[in-house]
Each structure stands twice: as C-alpha cells, then as structure tokens.
Structure 1
Amino acid sequence: MDEFDWSAMSPLRHALVPGTFGPTTPEPGVCLSERTGHRLLQIMARRGRWAETAAVANRLYGVEPPARAAANFGKDITLVWSGIDQYLALLRADHWPVDAIRSAFGNAASVSEQTAGRCLVQLSGPHVRAVLAKVSSLDLHPDAFPIGAAAATSIDHTVVNLWRERNAADGSTVFYMLMFTSFAESIWHLILMAAAEYGCGIVIDR
C-alpha cells in the first residue's frame, strides 16, 4: 500500500533562492523573506456579536481586535482587520490550540484555521514603498499608511492582506503580506521583477 507524506511544505519552495537579485551596490534596496513558524486563524463575529467577540479576544490575547482597516500588535500575536466584524489572528504556532480558541469564543464567532492556506512574506528596505507602488494601488506614504495601517487589496489579480509592521531594529520600514498559497509563487516573482532596479535581497527564514 502506498504511503503518503502529509508534511507541510512552503508554497515558495521552488522560488526561494537565497542571495541578491539585481544590483548589489551599495546594498539591496528591498529585502524579501517568507515568514514561518506561526499559526493563522480567521475569526468572524456572528451577526450582532462583534462586541462580545472583541471582548473575548481582548481577554485571550491582551490586545483589542481592529474594527477598521488596521493591524493591532500584542505579545507574540498580531490581529489584522480582514473585513467587517472579522479579523485574522497571527500567533506563534505553539500558542493556544485551535480547539481551545473555538471554545473560548463559543457561539459569538466562527474560528477557522488558515495556516496552510496562506503564505506570509516580509518586505523591508529603503525602496520597499516604491516596489509596492508598482504592484498595488494603495497610497503607502507614511502619513497615509503609518505603522499599524492595513488593507485588503489586489495584487496580481488576487486578494492579499497587507499591513505595515513595526520598524526593524535599524529603523527601516517593514511591511507584511498575506497571500493565498496557490498564488504565492506568482506574486513572489512579480515582486522580484518590480524590485529588480533597486536590488532585492532574499532571506530564507528557516
């Protein structure tokens, strides 16, 4: 009898090649990295129960879920708005079994596991806004899209969740992008092409 290996694999396993794409002097203008080691949950309040859903989330995670297009940061967790009365919870893989979270929300909200269905990419560097401006229609100026701003937008004809993370230790701008795994390789290559003129460093996060 055939045996199947159900081990999770990155949707970018064929596209992730560490190094630099494009100019390298004085340093790459953009850095790309797939982020792993997390769990992703979609939490959708049931009709008329957003206040209850928000209260449970605050009690569980110690952070208020966003009621508008924003990303709220807590300890080892980020809550990202994904639509009216719903948000995505990005947390460490070893935190809170899914069944325990479903139990905590009870009938107030529906909780669905999304970890295997989405790919998370970090984008940073001095030219990251210029690259994202080529592939999206968002206004990413710091005044219009500050730290904690988020959007559900379209890139390469598919919906992605994009938000501005806290700055890196060196003060550089950081964005995170969540995309469906089936489109991840296509979007990855699109961003590489958009970043070519600035140089793009690729980091393997394993």
Structure 2
Amino acid sequence: MPETGPARPGRKPTTNPEVIEAAALRLFAEHGYAATTVDMIAAEAGTSRRTFFRWFDTKAGTLWREFDTEVANLSAQLAAVPQDVPAMAAVRRAVVAVNHYRAADVGELRARMTLIGSEPELAASAAVHYDAWERAVSDFVARRAGLAADSLYPLAVGRATLAACRAAFDRWIANADADLTVYLDAALAALADGFADAVLVAEPTGPRRRRRAPRR
C-alpha cells in the first residue's frame, strides 16, 4: 500500500517495497519470471523505474528482501540464546522462531519459494543469499566452540542446517498440510545428535606426512 502521510505538491506518493514485491509475484505467476520486465513490475505497482531501483537492484531482488531480513533476524535470535543451551538446540530454536509467518503471508511465501526453487535463472542469486544464511549459522557455532569461522565443524553445521531447512521447505511446499515450522523443527531435530556439542570442540587433523630423507 502507498506510504502514509501527505505527499509534497507536484510529487506522487512513494510506493513501498511490499507493494512492488506483490506486483512482481503476480506478474511472475501470470507471465513467467523470464518474460516479466522491470517496466512491467513498476507499472503493475503504480510506480516508476526510478522508485523500483530505489528499493531493488534487479527484478530478482523482489524475491529476496524478506529472506535477507530473515538472515539478520536469525543472527539476532542466535545471539540471544543463553550460553547453557547446546549449539544445535540453539540453532533449532532460532530457525523455528524466525520462520513463524502470519496466515495472511503464507500464500506469498509459498509462491516466492516455489519460484526460487524452480527457476534456473535465479540459481546464481539464490547461491549468494543461501551462503549468507549458512554463514549466520556457522559463525554462531564457531563462536560457541571457540573455533575459527572457517573450521570444519562450523562450516559443516552451517551447510547441513541449510540443507535440512531447504528440505523442510520443499516438503512444506509440496504437501501444504501443516505449518512450516513443523517441518523445520523435525528436520533440525534429526541433526542434533550428529552435531552434539562434544564433537564441536576442535579442528580434526590428519597424520603428518613423513619427510623423505635427503639423497646423499
């Protein structure tokens, strides 16, 4: 909906990003992602190209703004979990917390995630955003374990957690029979035993290679 407040004389009210996102989703559903242009989205939203690019760098950006907000919220939720909560329990709690959606928003979320998962042209942008989500988890685990952010265990937890959540989203989209958090909670519960705090303590090292004796 248009932003509230009086508009300046001679100036049209600015369209907020939610209006542009909703317009983009409608057009993607009607015409397909590839056939939809920025001009079409701006016209559907009742705004200009200039306003569109004030909020989004590309048309793909209309699908990711909420996701990027979720990454920031996930980091905040993880930081707020008490230290005595095991790392994977903290991850599970935080992921479920940031994925509680209002009933009115579920249809749009389902449409957006379906498009992201089925449109090859979005693969590159998806990788960038999923990497940011993964890093939020792995950085948290690294801090908890006192390890470097690029150590094996934090990276493994981040990647495995992302994979579990994507599987949960896929089943939720396919089944449409339960709250998303039911699938997320079940998927993350399956990871908890394998990534218990006891194994998140050190970077594994392989056997040292023996040096050859110098030739005489």
For normalisation by structure 1, the TM-score amounts to 0.26
Structure with larger RCO (C-alpha < 8 A, sep 6+)? 1
Larger Rg: 2
Between Structure 1 and Structure 2, the one with more helix by share is 2
**Which structure dedicates a bigger proportion of its chain to strand?**
1
